[in-house]
Structure formats: C-alpha cells, structure tokens
Amino acid sequence: MNQEQFDKIEQEITPPTPYVKNVLKAFLVGGLICTIGHAITYFYIIFFDFTEKTVGNPTAATIIFISMLLTGFGLYKKIGQFAGAGSAVPVSGFGNAVISAAIEHRTEGFVLGVGGNMFKLAGSVILFGVSSAFVVSLIKLILVTMGVIEW
Amino acid sequence: MVIIFQSKPSIIASAAVAGPLERKSVFYSYFDSVVEDERWHQTTNEQGNAKMIEEACQILLKKANLNNLDIDFFLAGDLVNQMTPTNFAAKEIAASFIGLFSACATSVSSVIIACLLTELGASKYAIAGASSQHNSTERQFRYPIYYGAQKPATAQWTVTAAGFTLIGKHNPKNPSIVAATVGKVVDYGQTNPFHMGAAMAPAAYDTITKHLEKRKQTIKDYDVIMTGDLGKIGLEILKRMFAETGATQEELNIFRDAGAEFYGEDKSFLAGASGAGCSASVYFSYILQQLKDGRYKRVLLVATGSLLSPLTFQQGETIPCTAHAIEVTME
Amino acid sequence: MKKLVLPIFLSILLVGCNDEKTLEVNNANGEEVKEVAAIIKNEDEINSGRAIFVEDQLLVAVQAKPWLDYKKTKIEKNLKKKLEEILPEYDITVSSDYKLYWEAQKLLKEEDSEKVKEKLEKLKKLKKEET
C-alpha cells in the first residue's frame, strides 16, 4: 500500500464536513444568543438607568454570567458541539473559554493553576481582539480625517 | 518483528473496570466493576485514574486468589504526562514496575513484554494492561473538558476504563498467547488529531499483514481480528485497504474494532471510542470471555496507538502511529 | 416544531416592515408642535419621534429606521440643526437613544411640569455618560 493509494482510500471514506449544515446551525444558535443579549439590553435600558451607549457592559457581564453557569453544569459543551462557531463567537464563548480553563486547572491551586491557566484559550482572543481593534480604529480615524465618514 | 512464544504463556485472570459513562457501552455487562464517579471519589482526575488502576488490579488479584507480593512484574501505562497515574498505582502494588507508553497500543505491548518475561522464566506472575480516564486525557491532548468546541464526525471519545491481565505460565484451561507482532511506527502523513482512525489504520494494516505473512496464515485462520480504537471510520479505511489487496467480503467480516463497537450506535460519541482503556477493557473482558466460552478458538488482538503529543501537532508534525498484535488461542 | 419555524419567521419579518411614522407630543402650544411635526415628517431616516416641551426646554427622542442605526449621530446632528433654526428660543436636546425614547413616553403622560423638568435634567445627564 503506497501513499497515493492510501490517500485515495482515506479521502473516499472520510465523510465530508457538512459546511452548509454547520453554517446554518451556527447562524441559528448564534442568532439566538444575540437575541437573548438584545432582550437583556432592553431589560437594562427600560428598568435601569442605562442608555444604548452604556448598556453594553452590563449586558456582556450578564451573558458571561449565564455562560459561566452553563459551562459549570456541562451544558455549554453540548451547545458547542451542536452550534460550533455559533456559540464560540459571541461573548458567551469567550466566557466559556475562560471558565472551562479555570475549572480544569482548579486542582493545581489558585495562583499557578487557575491564575496561570485561565486565559490559556482566551488569551489569544484578547491579543488578536486588541490588535485588530487597533487596526480597525486606525482605518476609521483615517476615513474620518479624510471626510469619508463621521464618528 | 514477529515473536513466537514456545512456552505459550497464559492469561490466568483478567479484570476490566470502567467509569460512569461506560454504562452506555455494549460491553458493559462484561466489565467487573463500574464506578459512579468519573474521579473514583478522589480530588483530582489523575488520582481517580490511579485509583481505577488499583481497583482493576485488586479485582484481578482476587480473581486469581493471589496477593500483591506474589506478583513479579507490573507492566502498564496510561495517557497522562509521564504516566503518573500508573506510577502512583505501581507504588501501591509494590511489584517490579516498568512503565510503558505506546499510546493506546499499551494494552497489547505490555502483554507482549509480560509474555517475554514469562517465557524467559523471570516472571511467575506478571500484571499487564493499560488504562485511560476521559477527563485527564482530554486535558492532556485537547481542550478543557467543559470547553465548547465542535468536534468533527471523525473524532473519537476517550473512554474511562482500565483492563488488566495476569500473565503466567501455560495453563490449558486459560487462553494462551502463541505469537505476537511488535509493530513498526508507520506514518502516512496524517495531521488531523480529530481523525486518528485514518492515521492509525495503516499501522494496523502493516502489523496484521506482517503477522499473517510470518505466521503463514490467512485472515480466515482467525475467528476475529480485533483492532483497538480505529473507530467507525478508521475501521472502514482498514477494511478498504484489505479489500484493495484482495480480501473477500467474508474475510472483511472477520475484522472488528473495539472503539467502533464500544458505544454501539450512539451518535453522540461520533466515530466511536478511543483511549488505552478502550482496547484494554474490551480485550480483557469480552474477548477473553468469548475464548473461555469456546466461541472463539483463535483471535488476533491488534491495539493501535497514535504517538502524538499536543506539542508535535501544534508544531505541524504528522501523527506517527503504531500497532502491536497478539495471537491468543484457546485449546 | 419544524412546521412552526416558517410562520414565526414570516410574522417577525412582516411586523418589522410596518411603516407608519408616528409623532407624539406632550401638551404644549400648537404652533411649535406643528413646526416640530413638520420637520420630523420630512426626515426620511426617522421612524418615529416623541417631543417633550417644558418651559424653555425641548427634548426630541427619535428612533431611526432599521438598518440606519449606524448613521444615528448624523441624524441627531441634522435634526438638531433644523430644530434650532426654527425654535431658537428653546434649549433643544435631540437623541436617537432608545433609553430617552422610552423615558419620553412616560413624560408624555406626566402632568406636573416640575417633575418633567427634573426628569429631563436627569436624561440629559445620562445622555452624556460614555461607559
């Protein structure tokens, strides 16, 4: 059995990734999470003194709190298996990455275990989030200076 | 390299224990003990893994009516870094100990070494086997267990299970090991750690063909050829490889895979089970029972292992794989 | 379950396309109300508005049309400019924020002008908050 023969067999038998199905599932679940998020924004706007400008922080915190509970009860994992990017991309996915790592490393103590490993997965989100935010705001600054758009 | 054992060492006793999720296994009724708690009532998953090994060995000794001082060698391995659970369990068993790592093929490689020691006359009783615990293995090789990453349909589920055997001198009442093949490391350039079946299939193919060739046998000489944890897709690939080289459908039906069958048709486990404990717990409970009951006369147990680490695949290396085989017969 | 998905989806879509411009104003002198109403009617980008008059203060809370959310600040600015031209004697606050729109609804019913004024000050303060 040579390499080409094997590669052919492997490709024939391995089921193709169902991209369309995955995208649809991700869209539905991701959309559902964002709808819940929006419901929470309206809740804070209507019942508390938050404006559209300031409501983002409490909403994100609430979503992360819910995601923390779901992670701890092992439900987020199941949602993740179904939804893929749909549950990974919203802020709840970020919460899940932080919290699951924290739970995992609890046995090594609070400082070296939880503290040292909490951002094991989410660390790259922070790094690339901050650097892409920098690039995007730079582009916006240039466009505003040129008068193409306004702030 | 094929080894033929002149003295035909026997499997005097065997024990298999499993975790709570393994209740769903089709082999559940063959397991000696199933614990309610994934961590075996310990504080950490790694301690739980060690406790699982101890419990399996205790059941094994009880079955053979021996105590731990009668054991000459303890040969075992698991999937956690530096095999610490096995090391800690070995401290309790207090026999001469060699830790072995052939990933998920450790279940068979340990038996081969135990047989060699028995053949040599150095060992009267040797315990051989392997274990894996889902949580500690996932942490070792993949993501935190509660992390919601989507696994593809080719991914497999690491079992929480341990299988151990007691290898002693030939005894016609027990299944005996007549020959073994220590596999080479085979690498067909697979890089996806969520598709280990495809990476391991060529290793199994290589070991099985070598074994048959050297022993001058055909597939039909066996009642069953059981691979370790290729999973549903890996087993299909292996069968196709044999089909391409002229095996008939009847012969292909002789091939089975512990990982593919472990959880039955349950879709939530994707391509099936994996882990050192998967092949160990199935071989050393179900298969040995079938041999003892006379349903099988001759089986070939081919445990497959993918020798990767999280480090190597992140560095873009391919996944080298191996497969070790033992030929077990019942007179 | 699957049978329900399409009707629900369609009804959400249809409700979202309801296209009638509304303008609510609290009790105030007719002339100015008409002027404000005319301006808001002429703004294509606005879906609905609420105007609160109290003493020399005017709060106009509007909701931009869906898909035009990104232009909010521009809409606010334009509207404020137009209103200031016709009502130079008023201290005008224009906002497209939902919070102000929601609170404006409560103010519509409020009779006591002292309370309205107090509330208005608070809303203006809220509007300035950044985080």
In this prediction, residue C25 has a pLDDT band, given cuts at 50, 70 and 90, of confident
SS3 category, B195: coil
Whether chain B has a CB inside 8 Å of the CB on A16: the answer is no
Range C114-126 burial, b when 16+ CB lie within 10 A, else e: eebeebbeebeeb
Average pLDDT, rounded, for chain B: 93
Whether chain C has a CB inside 8 Å of the CB on A149: the answer is no
Q: What is the least distance, in Å, from the CA of B75 to any CA of chain A? A: 28
Instruction: List CB contacts of B328: < 8 A, sequence separation 6 or more.
Output: B11, B175, B176, B177, B178, B287, B288, B291, B298, B299, B300, B301
Min mean pLDDT across A128-137, A140-149, B294-303 is at A140-149
A58 → chain C, closest CA residue: C131
Task: Tell which A residues from 25 to 64 touch C, by Cβ distance under 8 Å.
Answer: 42, 45-46, 49-55, 57
Q: How far apart are CA C73 and CA C77, in angstroms?
A: 6
Token pair of B95 as six digits: 């026999």
State pLDDT tens for residues B95-104: 999 999 999 9
In chain C, the percentage of residues whose pLDDT exceeds 70 is 81
Is the separation of the CB atoms in A94 and B169 below 8 Å? no
B187 → chain A, closest CA residue: A3
**What one-character-per-residue DSSP string does B100-159 give?**
--BTBTHHHHHHHHHHHHHHHTS-SSEEEEEEE-HHHHHHHHSS-TT--PPPPTT--EE-
Contact A54 C131 (CB under 8 A): yes
User: Which DSSP letter does residue A106 get?
Assistant: G
CB-nearest partner of A6 from B147, B148, B188: B188
State pLDDT tens for residues B204-215: 999 999 999 999
State pLDDT tens for residues B151-178: 999 999 999 999 999 999 999 999 999 9
pLDDT at A56 over 70: yes
Q: What is the least distance, in Å, from the CA of A126 to any CA of chain C? A: 20
Position B173 scores a pLDDT of 92
**What one-character-per-residue DSSP string does B271-294 give?**
T-EESHHHHHHIIIIIIHHHHHTT
Q: What is the least distance, in Å, from the CA of B141 to any CA of chain A? A: 13
Query: Helices marked H in chain A — which ranges?
Result: 3-13, 19-47, 56-72, 75-83, 85-88, 91-104, 116-117, 122-146
SS3 category, C48: strand
Contact C98 A52 (CB under 8 A): yes
What is the residue extent of each domain of chain C? 20-128
Q: How far apart are CA B46 and CA B64, in angstroms?
A: 27
Contact B241 A9 (CB under 8 A): yes
What domains are defined for chain B? 2-168 (3.40.47.40), 176-329 (3.40.47.40)
Whether chain A has a CB inside 8 Å of the CB on C9: the answer is no
Asked whether C and A share 3 or more beta-carbon pairs under 8 angstroms, the answer is: yes
Contact A45 C102 (CB under 8 A): yes
Q: From chain B, pick out residues whose CB is under 8 angstroms from the CB of A116.
A: none
Say how many CA atoms lie within 13 Å of B96 toward its Cβ: 10
Whether chain A has a CB inside 8 Å of the CB on B188: the answer is yes
State pLDDT tens for residues A80-96: 999 999 998 889 999 99
**Residue B213 CB neighbour total at 10 angstroms:** 11
Contact B188 A7 (CB under 8 A): yes
Position C18 scores a pLDDT of 52
Q: How far apart are CA B252 and CA B247, in angstroms?
A: 7
Q: From chain A, pick out residues whose CB is under 8 angstroms from the CB of B46.
A: 107
Whether chain A has a CB inside 8 Å of the CB on C73: the answer is yes
Is the separation of the CB atoms in B164 and B60 below 8 Å? yes
Is the separation of the CB atoms in B224 and B252 below 8 Å? no
Q: From chain A, pick out residues whose CB is under 8 angstroms from the CB of B145.
A: 77, 100, 104
Is the separation of the CB atoms in B201 and B251 below 8 Å? no
B47 → chain A, closest CA residue: A107
Q: From chain C, pick out residues whose CB is under 8 angstroms from the CB of A42.
A: 98
Token pair of B162 as six digits: 């341990």
Instruction: List CB contacts of B120: < 8 A, sequence separation 6 or more.
Output: none
State pLDDT tens for residues B225-280: 999 999 999 999 999 999 998 889 999 999 999 999 999 998 889 999 999 999 99
Q: How far apart are CA C4 and CA B289, in angstroms?
A: 52
* Interface test mutation site (partner B, options A4, A10, A69, A105, max chain B beta carbons within 10 A): A10
Instruction: List CB contacts of B13: < 8 A, sequence separation 6 or more.
Output: B60, B63, B64, B165, B166
Give me the residues paired with residue B201 across strands.
none
Asked whether B and C share 3 or more beta-carbon pairs under 8 angstroms, the answer is: no
Contact B145 A14 (CB under 8 A): no
Q: How far apart are CA B162 and CA B280, in angstroms?
A: 6
The CATH class that applies to domain C20-128 reads: alpha beta
What is the identity of the amino acid at B292?
Answer: K
